[in-house]
Amino acid sequence: MKYFDVIIIGAGAAGLMCAATAGQKGRKVLLIDHAESVGKKIRISGGGRCNFTNLYTTPKNFISNNPHFCVSALNRFTQQDFINLVKKHQIFFHEKTLGQLFCDISSKQIIEMLLKECVDGDVEIRLEAKVSELLTCNPELVAGSIDSESNCNFQLKIGDEFVQCQSLVIATGGLSIPKMGATGFGYDVARQFGLKIIEPKPALVPFTLDEKTLSETKNLSGVSVNGIASCGKINFREGILFTHFGLSGPAILQISSYWKKGDKITINLVPEINVFEKLQEEKKSKPKQELQNFLGTFLPKSLANYLAQKSNHLGNLADLSNQKIKEIADSVNAWSFIPKGTEGFAKAEVTIGGINTDEISSKTFEVKSVPNLFFIGEILDVTGWLGGFNFQWAWASGKAAGEVV
């Protein structure tokens, strides 16, 4: 029976970082994944150029029931540390917006970089490897395994082979984008060892709208504005995109992580303009102007026409009452609605919720109640904003665990 110091399940961002780190510290590491290639989410991220970190990463850019949990790892392996690694491998990159860093050429460069780091650590990688059994190396559970290593803590069945290890790391990610291979395996392991799980939900995901609203906005699909999306006291100012199913775009994806079913979303379609004041001014200066033409001076034409029709005002600005002006202004600066739902895990960039971090050491990522068992990355109840933050969490948590496994 083959023995490893460390077995890591999940060859995504966190798993690759953890494997490289542990291997370069002299540990005998096996990295496995059920997929046919490593880093599948890395490959598709950032439109194929991988938004690998964010210059402005702080713990405030993450959502968790325990907001302090991520602080230690993020402070010990910062965005600059990862940037230095990228530079070491001579990968050229650029800042796009809001501190988001992308490869100049391809996301494949990040995967190749991580694989080279794994090679430097003599990491063994097995793909299309499915774990069918996971046991602790308790004599009663592995009876007959006379070749079991004295420091074995876990035994795994991969295909027809049994392997053993001292430390086991689960880096299988969340439930987002199942077509890329996401499964609930990591949560099953957590339950096997009695760990608490905060219900996983789609995050950084487009909203869907009810059928009535969709029928009204069907001609707006593809229209975008730079607005502010708010949910309660949280708001984001970025692009907002109308789709065939509802709303998407960076601002919508960001606010979706804070939304709960039944919550109201408010959108300011033109944050730089006080429409109430401007409409009052235009009523005086251009009383014969039609409403859709007024709205069309700062909104896409199709959106201006939609809002004008929705206001049920067919006349000139001169005919508007103050009450109607207020209604129109609110439809632009404070359009409120309750989403029908989201497009689910199929379109979610990440998963919010996951293993309760109260169960995990924030310094080592070891399970407090199960020695030598570690969980890292997206499977934990730590979710970053859009813009490279989730990758930075993967690097930081993978590095922290890799140093100690």
pLDDT tier, 345 (very low <50, low <70, confident <90, very high otherwise): very high
- Separation of alpha carbons 376 and 171, rounded Å: 5
pLDDT at 151: 86
Residues 6+ apart with CB under 8 A from 373: 153, 154, 167, 168, 170, 193, 366, 367
pLDDT of 298-343, one tens digit each? 999 999 999 999 998 877 899 999 999 999 999 999 999 999 999 9
pLDDT at 145: 42
Residues 6+ apart with CB under 8 A from 131: 9, 32, 34, 156, 157, 158, 185
pLDDT at 147: 47
Which conformational region is residue 10 in: left (phi greater than 0), alpha (psi within -120 to 50 degrees), or beta?
left
pLDDT at 150: 64
pLDDT at 270: 98
pLDDT at 251: 98
Sign, CA dihedral 364-365-366-367, equals positive
Specify the CATH class of 207-342 in words.
Answer: mainly beta
pLDDT of 176-229, one tens digit each? 999 888 999 999 999 999 999 999 999 999 999 999 999 989 899 999 999 999
pLDDT at 149: 52
Q: Can 2-201+352-402 and 207-342 be said to share one CATH topology?
A: no
Q: Select from 297, 291, 299 the least CA-distant residue to 315.
A: 291
Supply the pTM of this predicted model.
Answer: 0.94
| Domain segments of the chain as ranges | 2-201+352-402, 207-342
pLDDT of 44-56, one tens digit each? 999 999 999 999 9
pLDDT at 138 over 70: no
Q: Which pair of tokens denotes residue 300?
A: 């896409």
Residues 6+ apart with CB under 8 A from 58: 74
- Separation of alpha carbons 177 and 348, rounded Å: 6
Average pLDDT over residues 57-65: 98
Average pLDDT over residues 231-248: 97
Domain 2-201+352-402 has CATH 3.20.20.10: no
Residue carrying the six token digits 């050429």 = 105
- Is the CB of residue 12 less than 8 Å from the CB of residue 40? yes
Residues 6+ apart with CB under 8 A from 90: none
> How many of the other CB atoms lie within 10 Å of CB of 215?
9
Judged on CB neighbours under 10 Å (0-12, 13-18, 19+), 297 is: exposed
Average pLDDT, the chain: 95
pLDDT of 241-267, one tens digit each? 999 999 999 999 999 999 999 999 999
pLDDT at 137: 85
pLDDT at 1: 85
- Is the CB of residue 41 less than 8 Å from the CB of residue 64? no
- Separation of alpha carbons 345 and 364, rounded Å: 29
Q: Count of H helices and E strands in the chain? A: 13, 21
